[in-house]
Amino acid sequence: MNKRPPVIAQIGPYEVEVEDGKDYWWCSCGRSKDQPFCDGSHKGTGFRPVQYKCKEAETVYFCGCKQTGTGPFCDDTHESL
């Protein structure tokens, strides 16, 4: 399977209020219509969603450009795009 680069869903992070004890599945391919979360659009692309297990309610910043080295979180890579 030939893996294409991820689609840049947005330049900049998605600010999300996460809930204690909830699992979140971050879209790593950029094709999901439910950004920043997976909707299954990665099928056949070679990408897989990344699970984030929330341990406490807080605000997190999920990567929107899909180029992060610290997925699922933003590491400011978008600033160099």
Is there a domain that residue 80 lies in?
A: no
Number of independent structural domains in the chain: 1
* C-alpha triplet 66, 68, 70: angle, nearest 5°: 130
Q: What is the largest CA-CA distance in the chain?
A: 38
> Strand, helix or coil at 15?
strand
pLDDT at 3 over 80: no
- The CA–CA distances, whole Å, from 31 to 6, 35, 38, 46 equal 8, 8, 8, 12
pTM (whole model) above 0.75? yes
Identify the domain containing residue 36 by its residue range: 1-73
With a pLDDT cut of 70, the percent of the chain lying above it is: 96
Is there a domain that residue 81 lies in?
A: no
Is there a domain that residue 24 lies in?
A: yes
pLDDT at 2 over 60: no
Is there a domain that residue 18 lies in?
A: yes
